[in-house]
A and B are shown apart, each in its own frame.
Chain A
Amino acid sequence: MTTSGRLWLLLLLSSAWAAGSCASQLEARRGDALDVSGYPPDVQAAYDVFAVRCSRCHTLARPFNARITEDAHWIRYVARMRLQPASGINQKNGEIILKFLLFYTAELRRQEASEGAPPDIPRPPESPGWTDSEPEPPTRQVDAGVVEPAPPGETGVDSGAPSSDTAPTSPPAPALGRDS
């Protein structure tokens, strides 16, 4: 086989490997199609905003495959995307999109924990990205890596991943870092 032939073979194998890597993550990385029918209504509404704005310049596979694990990282990520030309993402939409992405990430984390696999998306001890003006949402630690919403009666809004035996709840929409 010639050198160029070997190169093409190597590239084809690389492509197959990359495609296989994506395809093997069907549950965790859902590509462009995400079934949100089991999500809370407000998160479903947030998904609609996300799906329209975040497919302007790229497919939805980008954010789904970003494998971002920390809330603070998502906050910066969305803030950066908000400033992309013609993004159509104003401050309000940015917070709605962030609301969906935080719930999605928490849901992934919950799924991986319930499957018994060692969680490769560790829950940060706290969400460092909340702005000073917004109080940390009340939560209580249930076990390692899972945060359950605070019981009714406490002030604030629900936060974090729902536990496996509770109905999905949505996180609050934190403010993005930099404003105009």
Chain B
Amino acid sequence: MKTCMSTSGRACRASARRSGFALAIVFVAAAALGSLRPTRVASQDHNFAGSVQTNYLWVATDPDAREQTFDGFTNELSLKVAVDFSDAVSANIKLCYGCHGVELGMAFTDLRVLDELNFRAGRFSPSFGDFPLRHDPANHLTADKPLPYDMGRMLRLREFNLSVLPAPYVDQGLEINGTHWFGDYLQLDYAAYLIGGLRGGQDAVDVDFMESRQPYYVDNNSEPAVGGRAALTWDATPDMMFTVGASGMAGHYDPKRELEYVLLGADLYARLYTLNLHAEYLVRRTQMALGDDPDSRFRYGPGGSGEYDDFFVKDGFYVEGNLPVTRRLELVARFDGLRRLGNVTINSPLRSRSVVLRYTAGVNVVFDGSVRLKVSGEVYDFSDFDDEVAANVGFVAAF
């Protein structure tokens, strides 16, 4: 540390204060790092996991279904490595291959200071909703995903521009999360995060989900989106468990940060002996660029106020139950829907209120060695298109 021989007393005191402050920061940082040191074992633990699902989608009512979805064979592969550096530090890396090509599904590090305080940095699925917890094809029991989270399996996917939030939604950023138990029965989970956010083009009228997966993974508008989640779990009995959760996310999706989106969700999970019930509702309010000449851009004219609405709302829900009836047989039933409310572009086949409801019933055959055959039938009830009947036959292995 410098002496004060050649400086004035005031400058010397200021310098000493700065030095003391810097020392205090170093001390606190060292103490924090010290608290993160491995408590018992210095070695790393590696765990490899993966899954592969091959699915055949047959649309019985449309011989040219490729015009409205990815029918026929599709394949999804995921490979994941989890590394526990210590009790407090771990990292996860996951590579996926699907209809959109190769994707980095996870690349993040967790720093756990307490059960109630975990820092997650990197590329991850921000905490939103219940389904993303089990989005991997090996972890959910239908070949496709619920409509609010669909990413390329639903019929008329292009007309609806996919779902409310295609899962897995992966982004870069920082998340602070934690969990706390109140006694032995109530668990509170929470998370808050800053991420790049949904992306879209200049003067856009909706989010472009392909942009979220464009290499390289960079933000498009120099402004993070913000979000969070809270969930309360009641561990009622050894055979019964209930979770209720709420999620939110908001930000701008265009390069000029003029178009805003707000995404909200609520979810419910119940475990009643061997019966699993999931229910969720998602809604996204998305601002649209009206442009210089809205008359030529939009199908519907201005409202009663004489002005064009500059937003639309897309919401969706699902209710799903699954029940293992024997050690090798599972029943799955699902009712889900997706709705878009608001003005549409002049060429859109949708109306200002477009709805799709879907009814799904399925049977899974469980083989030893964690291989499942998923068979399901689906009936689509469209408000703006002909109704469709489809079937999925999926073969999934977790390894």
By a beta-carbon cutoff of 8 Å, the part of chain A in contact with chain B is: 8, 11-12, 14-15, 18-19, 21-26, 29-33, 48-49, 52-53, 55-59, 61-62, 64-66, 68, 70, 72-73, 76-77, 79-80, 83-88, 90-93, 128-129, 131, 177-180
Contacts and interface: CB of A to CB of B under 8 A. Distances in A.
A93 B181 CA distance: 12
Q: Is the interface of B mostly helix, strand, loop or mixed?
A: strand
A70 B84 CA distance: 13
B370 A86 contact: no
Contact of B368 (A31, A66, A83, A88): A31
A28 to B, nearest CB: 9
Nearest to B49: A62
Nearest to A72: B41
B88 A178 contact: yes
Contacts of A86: 130, 133, 187, 189, 231, 233, 243, 245, 269
B368 A33 contact: yes
Nearest to B177: A85
Contacts of A15: 52-54, 75, 395, 397
Given A22-B370, A22-B371, A88-B241, A180 B52 contact: no
Main secondary structure, interface of A, reads loop
B87 interface: yes
A82 to B, nearest CB: 8
Interface in B318-362: 327-328
Given A77-B45, A88-B241, A64 B139 contact: no
B381 interface: no
24 contacts: A8-B73, A15-B52, A22-B369, A22-B371, A22-B398, A23-B367, A25-B369, A31-B367, A33-B327, A33-B368, A57-B139, A59-B398, A64-B370, A66-B47, A68-B45, A72-B40, A80-B84, A86-B130, A92-B184, A128-B41, A129-B41, A178-B87, A178-B114, A180-B181
B72 to A, nearest CB: 9
Given A30-B368, A59-B398, A83 B45 contact: no
B115 interface: yes
B39 interface: yes
Interface string B43-61: 0010101101110000000
A38 to B, nearest CB: 16
A178 B115 contact: yes
Contacts of B368: 23, 26, 29-31, 33
A29 B112 CA distance: 31
Contacts of A72: 40-41, 45
B133 A90 contact: no
Contacts of A22: 369-371, 397-399
A177 B40 contact: yes
A76 B223 CA distance: 36
A83 B118 contact: yes
Contact of A85 (B90, B112, B127): B127
